[in-house]
Amino acid sequence: MKKLLVSVLITALVFSLAAIPMTAATALSDISGHWAEKSINALLDKNYVSGYPDGTFKPDNAVTRAEFLKILTSVLNIPPATGGTSQFSDVTPEDWFFGYVVAAVDKGIVSGYPDGTFKPNNPITRQEAAKIVVKAQGIDETQAAVDFTLSMLTDGDQVAEWARPFVAAAVENEIMMGDPTGAFRPIAQITRAETATIGFRMLPVEVAGTFIFGRGADSVKLDPADVTDGESARATVQIYDTLVMFKGETTLIKPGLAKSWEVSSDNLTWTFHLRRGVKFHDGTDLNADAVLFNFERWWDTENPYHKGTFEYWESMFGGFKGDEGCVIDKFEKVDDYTFRIVMKQPFAPLLSNLAMFCFAIASPAAIKDQGPENYATSTEFPPVGTGPFKFVEWVKDDRIVLERYPEYWGEKAKIEKVILKVIPDNSARYLALKSGEIMGMEGANPDDVKAAKNDTNLQVILRPAMNVGTVIFNVTAKPFDDVRVRKAIAMAINKKAIVEAFYGETGLVANQFLPPSMWGYNDKLEDYPYDPEGAKALLAEAGYPDGFETDFWYMPNPRPYFPDPKGIAEAIAADLGKIGVRCNLKTEDWTTYLADRREGKFNLWMLGWTGDNGDPDNFLYFHYGVPRPGEGNYNNPELIKILTDAQKVVNQAERAELYKQAAAIIHEDCPRLFIGHNQVPLLFSKKVTGYVVNPTSTEIYNTVVILP
């Protein structure tokens, strides 16, 4: 019985996959909601695969070698051979797969087994599939960083010796990527869904369309090293590449211009192996000299090309060349494609830092030709990088136009052009999206986000939160020098109500610095309960039975982490009023606010943080690594030691533990209140697909597809 079933199934499989091209229009019952739904549908649309007569696709069934070839050759537009002879004893002209196998052998994609067979009806393992796709795509597997790439897979050691370069090449080229846990499963049989996904990734790219994105402000400058604003970054990440990059929707690291790297056993020397054959948009080569030029320019204030303030370098690496706080000792070119960074101390956040938009490699020739003052400031002085898009034009305060760079080393863009259009007013920008003048936007008013959700032509995508809105105490000023007062205030505020009212569906209640999507987040931490009575009692215990009066400063303008500072301040003040703490709400111009906060003029104020690189260090050490008036003079040596130690451990799991401890200490000392995290909503026309959101906002448009 079982045998019969199997043979029926196999017949059906062969029949459906190969023999009868069925119409794809009929929806199949078992692919909706499947992880590979998009890929399967795309291939069904083109008739490269088809469903079973019973209306199913059976995505998790295995495919045979012959079937795999059939799909692959269809995707690559290789027509089956109509004549010729087969070199395999088990492939005869009578077989349905004869034409496909002959054509594939012809193209050098497959070669069969040493015993002269092809075993067409055997199942195919994932490592065999890797070899076939690498050959089919014409990828030179000898270029792969085999050891490094396999070491990034959890089961890289299970790959057969002969398959190692092919698996590495397939992973590096993002044709086969392994499952979400990081396993490749080399000897597992490949399924129909997986085959469809591979086929989808190999589909010849149809380059079409212009992606017009609306934003609230113009870029300041297109030299990423010398800017800090998100709008400059939005443009520069399209034009430039960094040595390492953020992976998909996460803050995990993947290779960029450096295809692999290793760190010495003392954790001080990092060696980066650069990708070969990469060219800047001006035709010059990317090599170790170019990388060295950029690093020297960033960190050496005496360098003739160091013209500007390079704030991010200073803030991420603790200072410039020769500064005591700077964590870097020197940079070295080892050979043309090997670059080395030597640290003064182990510095774990290095890779996260290097993935930031600001440490992108620019063409040394362009900087020299244009002069460091002028570089990347206008159309006349264009930015030159190696990224998936080339700069075309910049009309200040209006638009930046980029075009596809066809020689890009990575995933090439699927659109001809990108236009970043400035539309300062949020409502006007939303109207422009509705009218079709733009196809995507950021910075929508909450009401417009709601409207967009119900609009059949629009879609809303939430960017994972990487920010936090907080209320800070000056812990050296009365009455906030008493931890009971701080805790009482923490218990008096109804955070949940505030987040619901002011953040809406995009908000998350915060109880620590890190948002839950980041590694190092302490999920064991229990927040102070909302308990006005308990708060009152605690306040009385601290010697303030009738409460007290205090100034409470709020920011004049919204930030991502506080969508409506005034409203939130009023809600907090109302909550505090209930326990007898009378707040005089105060605000002032933003820049003045920042100045006064920095100089320690406030005792109770609102401010938050938007992370730069997804590393907990960037949240925790930045605020509490060094006691400052601007952080409420909070000074806990135990915490500072943990944060400093965490910089020196390279192992991510160990670091995560340290940050969890840090969160617990901060929670106990209560030097600031964590109110909410906000997920930024992005609005798109339904015609836009493939937009990958990233918590760091580093969103590169080479994956974007504009549907006709």
Using the rule CB under 8 A, which residue among 592, 638, 651, 707 binds other proteins? Answer: 592
Smallest separation, CB 660 to other proteins (Å): 24
* Three-state DSSP state, 8: helix
Using the rule CB under 8 A, which residue among 584, 590, 638, 668 binds other proteins? Answer: 590
Pick from 14, 16, 37, 27: nearest CA to 95: 14
Q: Per-residue DSSP letters for 353-387? A: HHTSGGGBPPPHHHHHHH-TTTTTSSSSS----SS
Q: What residues numbered 597-616 form the site for other proteins, per CB under 8 A? A: 598, 607-610
Using CA atoms of 660, 662, 668, 673 in order, give the dihedral in degrees to the nearest 10: -90
Smallest separation, CB 558 to other proteins (Å): 13
Using the rule CB under 8 A, which residue among 344, 399, 586, 687 binds other proteins? Answer: 399
Q: Considering the rule CB under 8 A, would residue 54 count as an interface residue with other proteins?
A: no
Q: Which of 176/518 has CB closer to other proteins?
A: 518
272: phi > 0 → left, psi -120 to 50 → alpha, else beta; which? Answer: beta
Pick from 266, 286, 284, 283: nearest CA to 275: 286
Smallest separation, CB 702 to other proteins (Å): 20
Q: What residues numbered 359-398 form the site for other proteins, per CB under 8 A? A: 373-374, 377-378, 395-398
- Residues of the chain by 3-state class (helix, strand, coil), percent to 5: 35, 20, 45
Q: Considering the rule CB under 8 A, would residue 589 count as an interface residue with other proteins?
A: yes
Angstrom distance (rounded) from CA 230 to CA 235: 9
Q: Which of 58/421 has CB closer to other proteins?
A: 421
Q: Which of 150/419 has CB closer to other proteins?
A: 419
Q: Considering the rule CB under 8 A, would residue 644 count as an interface residue with other proteins?
A: no
* Three-state DSSP state, 4: helix
Angstrom distance (rounded) from CA 383 to CA 378: 8
Using the rule CB under 8 A, which residue among 179, 403, 437, 455 binds other proteins? Answer: 437
Q: Considering the rule CB under 8 A, would residue 591 count as an interface residue with other proteins?
A: yes
Strand order in the sheet with 210-215: 389-395, 399-404, 417-422, 210-215, 440-442, 680-685, 458-463
Strand partners, 649: none
Angstrom distance (rounded) from CA 334 to CA 314: 25
Using the rule CB under 8 A, which residue among 427, 457, 584, 651 binds other proteins? Answer: 427
Q: Which of 575/617 has CB closer to other proteins?
A: 617
Smallest separation, CB 611 to other proteins (Å): 11
Using the rule CB under 8 A, which residue among 595, 651, 668, 707 binds other proteins? Answer: 595
Q: Considering the rule CB under 8 A, would residue 643 count as an interface residue with other proteins?
A: no
Q: Which of 32/591 has CB closer to other proteins?
A: 591
Q: Considering the rule CB under 8 A, would residue 425 count as an interface residue with other proteins?
A: yes
Residues in contact with other proteins, total (CB under 8 A)? 54
What is the amino acid identity at position 331? F
Q: Considering the rule CB under 8 A, would residue 297 count as an interface residue with other proteins?
A: no
Distances (CA, A) of 383 to 233, 360, 376, 414, 455: 12, 11, 4, 22, 38
CA 634 to chain centre: 32
Smallest separation, CB 229 to other proteins (Å): 8
Rg (CA), the chain: 29
Smallest separation, CB 677 to other proteins (Å): 15
Tokens 């269809």 belong to 74
Pick from 17, 78, 60: nearest CA to 197: 60
Using the rule CB under 8 A, which residue among 119, 247, 628, 648 binds other proteins? Answer: 628
Q: Considering the rule CB under 8 A, would residue 47 count as an interface residue with other proteins?
A: no
Smallest separation, CB 701 to other proteins (Å): 15
Q: Considering the rule CB under 8 A, would residue 34 count as an interface residue with other proteins?
A: no
Smallest separation, CB 463 to other proteins (Å): 18
Contact (Cβ atoms closer than 8 angstroms) between residue 292 and residue 331: yes
Using the rule CB under 8 A, which residue among 14, 183, 326, 431 binds other proteins? Answer: 431
Work out the number of other CB atoms within 10 angstroms of the CB of residue 377: 17
Smallest separation, CB 592 to other proteins (Å): 4
Using the rule CB under 8 A, which residue among 28, 257, 354, 432 binds other proteins? Answer: 432
As to burial, measured by CB atoms within 10 angstroms (0-12 exposed, 13-18 middle, 19+ buried), residue 559 is middle
Q: Per-residue DSSP letters for 36-88? A: THHHHHHHHHTTSS---TTS---TTSB-BHHHHHHHHHHHTT-PPPSS---SS
What is the amino acid identity at position 505? E
Using the rule CB under 8 A, which residue among 403, 407, 570, 596 binds other proteins? Answer: 596
Q: Which of 45/229 has CB closer to other proteins?
A: 229
HEC states along 181-206?
Answer: CCCCCCCCECEHHHHHHHHHHHCCCC
Smallest separation, CB 308 to other proteins (Å): 7
Per-residue interface string for the shown chain with other proteins, residues 176-215, x marking contact by CB under 8 A? ----------------------------------x-x---
Q: What residues numbered 62-81 form the site for other proteins, per CB under 8 A? A: none
Per-residue interface string for the shown chain with other proteins, residues 300-339, x marking contact by CB under 8 A? --------xx-x--xx---x-----x--------------
What is the amino acid identity at position 516? P
**Footprint on this chain of other proteins (rule: CB under 8 A):** 210, 212, 217, 220-221, 228-229, 308-309, 311, 314-315, 319, 325, 373-374, 377-378, 395-399, 401, 419, 421-425, 427-428, 431-432, 434-435, 437, 589-596, 598, 607-610, 622, 626, 628, 630
